[in-house]
Amino acid sequence: MTAFATAVSAPPNYKTGLINKVFFIRWEQPPSPQDLFVVDKRFREAYEAYRQQLSVVVVTGSKARVPNGEQRKGLFTLLENNRKYICELHLLMEGNELQHNLQRIIASAQLIVTRIYDNNYARLHKKADDIAPFLTSRLKVDGNRIIHDARLLGLVA
């Protein structure tokens, strides 16, 4: 099993990691164009390490602001440009406040409108543990172990 995680030094806006064919992106705040460029580069490097489609887990931290229109467009462009390299996409929006529940509803609607949503491709989650069974099924690995390792690396809460 391969695992690594990296983060930018200041501000700690995002963290990426690769654990056994699962690429994690954790956003602590909405991304800048430079953040998106670096994350795209890291994702392509992760894909090259395996030369097959990866499962991707995109995490929004519970303290993250809602991205503005330009930032949302950048995030969707990142996903669209890399869709051929992704076998499944899991969006994890952490937090239990009303604001987080509303964000999940809005994100679900955006996925449907932009036609990214597909039960066989993209799913929205409230808890990291909900992702583990999908990873187990798709990759034939211990999804609980991957989520556990992602917690140790600070990629999910």
Place of tokens 């809602």: 66
Tokens of 85: 């390299």
pLDDT tens, 124-145?
888 999 999 999 999 999 999 9
In this prediction, residue 43 has a pLDDT band, given cuts at 50, 70 and 90, of very high
pLDDT tens digits, one per residue of 56-73: 999 988 888 888 889 989
The domain ranges of the chain are: 14-153
Q: Indicate the CATH number for domain 14-153.
A: 3.30.750
Query: Under a CB-based contact definition with an 8 Å cutoff, are residues 78 and 67 in contact?
Result: no
Do the Cβ atoms of 82 and 54 come closer than 8 Å?
no
75 vs 73: CA distance, rounded Å: 5
> CA torsion sign, 32 to 37 to 43 to 49?
negative
**Quick check: pTM over 0.75?**
yes
Q: Is 64 helix (H, G, I), strand (E, B) or coil?
A: coil
> Is the separation of the CB atoms in 72 and 91 below 8 Å?
no
